[in-house]
Amino acid sequence: MSAELDMEAARDSASAYLAAFHSGTVADPYAAIEHAIAAEFLAGHDIDEVMRARAASPVALLIPGHGQAIAVGSAGWLLAVGSPLVLYAADDITRQPLRSLSEEELYAADAGPATGLVVCDKPDCTACALTQARLHSRAGAYLCGLAQGAVNAAVRRVQERVQFGRPIGNNQAVAFQLSALTARLTALHALGEHVATRIEAGRTEAETVAPADASRLLAACSELAVEATTTALHLHGAFGLRSDQDAQRFYRKACAFSVRHGTPARLRLAGSTRREGSR
Amino acid sequence: MNPTLTPELQLFRQELRDLLARPEVAAELAAIADVPPEECFPETVYQLLGAHQMLAPAWPRRYGGRDATAAHAAIVQEELSGHGIPDMPFINTITNAGALLLFVASAEQKARFLPPLAAGLGTMVVLYSEAEAGSDLASLRTRAERVDGGWRLYGSKWYAVQVRRAGYAVVAARTSDRGRAEAGITLFLVALDNPAVKASLVESLYPDPFYEVLLDGVHVPDCDVLGPVDGGWFVLAAGLAIERTGVDYNAKANSWLKTVAKQVEARDDAVLRDRLVSLQTQAAAGRVLAWRLVERQQEGDLNAEEAAMAKWFNSELCVKVAQLALDVGGPADATSVAMLREAPGLTLSAGGSEIMLEIIGSSLGLGGTS
């Protein structure tokens, strides 16, 4: 790959990162991010015509977590992430809808006797590791976006909510929480953009971004998303709990998807070993 | 997760590292290892960098710099911290006082004061804080009275560091009581060897000795007035914002983390390891943010709220690293003791955390001050 092409890929990746961040700020469905990554998993491998046709229709990722394999969003195909990377027809496997905090369609899937199609069985596949890093970076972007959306909503709320004769946002005890979250978000978001760019650029340059960096980034984004959305919800008062309020929507999604790829501590642990990226 | 540097900046960093790899650097660091902080001035290292125009590379050539950029200056800061070279004289002289002079001094003052600072031959400090005036600098009480050919200064400055070695100090004093409190303050360049200046040591937790500096009618000639008379507060407000990128605080956090990481790696403790990795990620984020501001600084486009974010984030990070060091090494470990003594000053210096949060909140339309 030429250096020029690579810079283009880096820009694309940075813009995919920004797109994921933006979808978080408006609490769009998280499923779209994983569907896009599933397509990138398939595109990154030498697949035949049949499989390419399948990749054109929505494919959801099947990721192990909390004792079961879980997929997000409706899709005709499921791609079990790991080594080997296996594609299943949704109809071939048993699916159990889950009542998730996220308000998105989640289901536990059990492949049972279904064999599926092996997309990749190389344990040290670079395409798999790259896509896994993209997944972690974009999931991080989405979580950062949720945090930003929640902070934006809280800023508006505390400017408007009047108690004791003045907006509650005039109180430093309230304002400083949002100032601090904004600073932490800004720093982490800057790191996220940087890592997203380096993931692609690193493919040809000496200074590579290890998958570990994307996992550590995701861990930090997960923790901040839960903290920021919890604080933002609290600052809304009981009003924020209402189902028509965005504050509770950000909180639901942050909690649900912060542990989607493993708990933060688990992500950091995986990030500190060489074998990260292969499950 | 390092910032992406241009090839030219990478070369500069390498040139600097080659200089710092010289045997006389290691020899001096070994020699001052057990010296008390007030005596701890690595003059060989500073003069070596000065001789290569690397102490203040962003300054114009005629003042001993390289006509280079804020990014070059940030690299010097990172490498001093990274090599464990005491950087308090550098921060006070080059980053604080020197940058202020470059910003506001007359051509004659620049030509007189800057070259010895860039050469590592002299140091300079800033004396702003007083017993009753910290974050609220406009409430300062040090007075300057007009006399023939200049001014006489009366008052006392507290929490001054690096005073013993410095030839001059930038002093903020009140020159007028008319109008707003902010409008009557002037900056002066005061020779510290003047007998009317008395520095006395104040025992403190902070590792670098604190001094109280008494100004007992010290005479300052008109040629040593820095910037406009009665306009000092505005100069400082603008000057602080242009130097606040957080690079120095982040460099410290990273250098501390390097030390703590070695201790953690020697232990088989998953909890400590997890906290270390978490702080390393935060430090990487703080570094990318600080470097983004360095780029803005180069373009003359540094915005106050992002600068406040970088300062707040990176100074608070140092506190967390020091707390990890305590958990790793305990209260009698030399590493944790040094960090725990220094960290509380970092969230106070150059704008305390609450002031930073106030600036950020104000940009969000919160806090009732906007």
**Per-residue model confidence as pLDDT tens digits over A222-271:** 999 999 999 999 999 999 999 999 999 999 999 999 999 999 999 998 76
B246, B310 contact by CB (below 8 A): yes
ipTM, interface predicted TM-score of the complex: 0.91
Choose among A182, A187, A272: nearest Cβ to B285.
A187
- Is B308 in the same domain as B250? yes
- Of residues B105 and B134, more confidence is placed in B105
Q: What is the pLDDT of residues A176-222, one digit of tens each?
A: 999 999 999 999 999 999 999 888 776 544 445 567 899 999 999 99
- CATH number of B29's domain: 1.10.540.10
Q: Is residue B222 part of a domain?
A: yes
What pLDDT sits at residue B270? 94
**Greatest CA separation found in chain A?**
68
What pLDDT sits at residue A162? 96
Query: CB atoms < 10 A from the CB of B172, how many?
Result: 27
- Is B24 in the same domain as B81? yes
Spatial distance between the Cα atoms of B340 and B207, rounded to a whole number of angstroms: 10
Tell me which residue range forms the domain holding B199.
126-230
- Is B285 in the same domain as B218? no
What pLDDT sits at residue A202? 61
Choose among A170, A183, A271: nearest Cβ to B312.
A183
Q: Is residue B239 part of a domain?
A: no
Helix axis angle, A211-236 relative to B270-298, nearest 10°? 90
Domain ranges of chain A: 3-120, 126-271
Residue B59 tokens, joined: 């300054």
What are the φ/ψ torsions at residue A273 (nearest 5 degrees)?
-115, 160
Cis ω for the linkage preceding A113 (within 30 of 0): no
What pLDDT sits at residue A50? 74
Distances (CA, A) of A152 to A220, A243, B285: 20, 18, 21
Is the Cβ pair B368, A155 closer than 8 Å? no
B46, B87 contact by CB (below 8 A): no
Domain boundary (B230, B261, B293) is at: B230
Q: Hey, which residues does A106 pair with through a beta bridge?
A: A72, A98
What pLDDT sits at residue A10? 61
What are the φ/ψ torsions at residue A175 (nearest 5 degrees)?
-60, -45
pLDDT, averaged across chain B = 93
Q: Is residue B109 part of a domain?
A: yes
Q: Is residue B68 part of a domain?
A: yes
Report the residue of chain A nearest B358, measured CA to CA.
A176
Minimum distance, in Å, between the CA of residue B357 and any CA atom of chain A? 5
Choose among B277, B289, B365: nearest Cβ to A187.
B289
> Kindly report the CA angle at B253 between B324 and B244, in degrees rounded to 5?
140
Helix axis angle, A49-56 relative to A31-43, nearest 10°? 160
pLDDT at B241 over 80: no
- Is B41 in the same domain as B67? yes
Q: What share of chain A in percent tops pLDDT 90?
A: 71
> Hey, is the C-beta of A208 within 8 angstroms of any chain B C-beta?
no
What does DSSP assign to residue B130? B
Is the Cβ pair B367, A182 closer than 8 Å? no
> Hey, is the C-beta of B288 within 8 angstroms of any chain A C-beta?
yes
Choose among B274, B281, B358: nearest Cβ to A217.
B281
With a CB-CB cutoff of 8 Å, which residues 61-120 of chain B face chain A? none
> Hey, is the C-beta of B313 within 8 angstroms of any chain A C-beta?
yes
Among the residue ranges A12-16, A223-227, A240-244, B167-171, the one predicted with the least confidence is A12-16
- Is B266 in the same domain as B314? yes
pLDDT at A1 over 70: no
> Kindly report the CA angle at B95 between B90 and B99, in degrees rounded to 5?
135
What pLDDT sits at residue A203? 57
Distances (CA, A) of A86 to A109, A111, A113: 13, 10, 13
Spatial distance between the Cα atoms of A161 and A163, rounded to a whole number of angstroms: 7
Residues of chain B with C-beta less than 8 angstroms from the C-beta of A222: none
What pLDDT sits at residue A274? 38
Element (H, E) at B188: strand B185-191
Predicted confidence band of residue B12 (pLDDT cuts 50, 70, 90): very high
What pLDDT sits at residue B38? 67
Tell me which CATH code domain A126-271 carries. 1.20.140.10
Predicted confidence band of residue A272 (pLDDT cuts 50, 70, 90): low
What is the pLDDT averaged over residues A93-116?
91
> Hey, is the C-beta of B281 within 8 angstroms of any chain A C-beta?
yes
Domain boundary (B94, B122, B150) is at: B122
- Of residues A276 and B113, more confidence is placed in B113
Spatial distance between the Cα atoms of A108 and B218, rounded to a whole number of angstroms: 79
- Is B148 in the same domain as B175? yes
Q: Is residue B267 part of a domain?
A: yes
Q: What share of chain B in percent tops pLDDT 70?
A: 98
Q: What share of chain A in percent tops pLDDT 70?
A: 89
- Is B140 in the same domain as B183? yes
What are the φ/ψ torsions at residue B29 (nearest 5 degrees)?
-60, -40
What is the pLDDT averaged over residues A34-48?
91
What pLDDT sits at residue B369? 57
- Is B206 in the same domain as B151? yes
CA atoms within 13 A on the CB side of B32: 17
Is the Cβ pair B364, A207 closer than 8 Å? no
pLDDT at B223 over 70: yes
Is the Cβ pair B289, A186 closer than 8 Å? yes
Is the Cβ pair B367, A188 closer than 8 Å? no
User: Which three-class secondary structure state does DSSP give residue B216?
Assistant: strand
- Is B31 in the same domain as B102? yes
Spatial distance between the Cα atoms of B337 and B332, rounded to a whole number of angstroms: 7
- Is B62 in the same domain as B93? yes
Residues of chain B with C-beta less than 8 angstroms from the C-beta of A220: 278, 281-282, 285
Q: What is the pLDDT of residues B148-163, one digit of tens each?
A: 999 999 999 998 888 8
Contacts of A243 (CB under 8 A, 6+ apart): none
The residue among B249, B250, B268, B281 with the most chain A CBs within 10 A of its CB, best to mutate, is: B281
What pLDDT sits at residue A273? 47
Spatial distance between the Cα atoms of B148 and B90, rounded to a whole number of angstroms: 35
- Is B135 in the same domain as B97? no
Predicted confidence band of residue B297 (pLDDT cuts 50, 70, 90): confident
> Kindly report the CA angle at A13 between A86 and A191, in degrees rounded to 5?
110
Is the Cβ pair A167, B278 closer than 8 Å? no
Predicted confidence band of residue A276 (pLDDT cuts 50, 70, 90): very low
Domain boundary (B184, B199, B230) is at: B230
- Of residues A9 and A93, more confidence is placed in A93
What is the pLDDT averaged over residues B191-203?
95
> Hey, is the C-beta of B59 within 8 angstroms of any chain A C-beta?
no
Q: Is residue B355 part of a domain?
A: yes
Q: What is the pLDDT of residues B46-72, one digit of tens each?
A: 999 999 999 999 999 999 999 999 999
Residue B293 tokens, joined: 């501001």
Contacts of A70 (CB under 8 A, 6+ apart): A62, A63, A64, A98, A106, A107, A108, A109, A260
What pLDDT sits at residue A2? 40
Minimum distance, in Å, between the CA of residue A28 and any CA atom of chain B? 24
What is the pLDDT averaged over residues B117-135?
93
What pLDDT sits at residue A11? 64
Spatial distance between the Cα atoms of B318 and B326, rounded to a whole number of angstroms: 12
- CATH number of B265's domain: 1.20.140.10
Choose among A169, A220, A265: nearest Cβ to B366.
A169
> What is the helix, strand, coil percentage profile of chain B, to 5?
55, 15, 30
- Of residues B368 and B142, more confidence is placed in B142
What does DSSP assign to residue B94? I
- CATH number of B161's domain: 2.40.110.10
Number of domains present in the structure of chain B: 3
- Of residues A208 and B351, more confidence is placed in B351
What pLDDT sits at residue A5? 46
C-alpha closest to that of A65 among A222, A254, A257, A274? A257
Spatial distance between the Cα atoms of A67 and A70, rounded to a whole number of angstroms: 9
Minimum distance, in Å, between the CA of residue A196 and any CA atom of chain B? 10
> Hey, is the C-beta of B360 within 8 angstroms of any chain A C-beta?
yes
- Of residues A74 and B314, more confidence is placed in B314
Is the Cβ pair B280, A216 closer than 8 Å? yes
Choose among B274, B285, B292: nearest Cβ to A268.
B274
Distances (CA, A) of A81 to A65, A128, A132, A140, A158: 12, 9, 9, 18, 42
Spatial distance between the Cα atoms of A134 and A81, rounded to a whole number of angstroms: 13
Spatial distance between the Cα atoms of A10 and A85, rounded to a whole number of angstroms: 25
Residues of chain A with C-beta less than 8 angstroms from the C-beta of B309: 182-183, 186-187
What is the pLDDT averaged over residues B113-122?
97
What pLDDT sits at residue A3? 42
What is the pLDDT averaged over residues A43-55?
80
- Is B256 in the same domain as B355? yes
β-bridge pairing A166-167 and A162-163:
antiparallel
What are the φ/ψ torsions at residue B49 (nearest 5 degrees)?
-65, -40
pLDDT at B116 over 80: yes
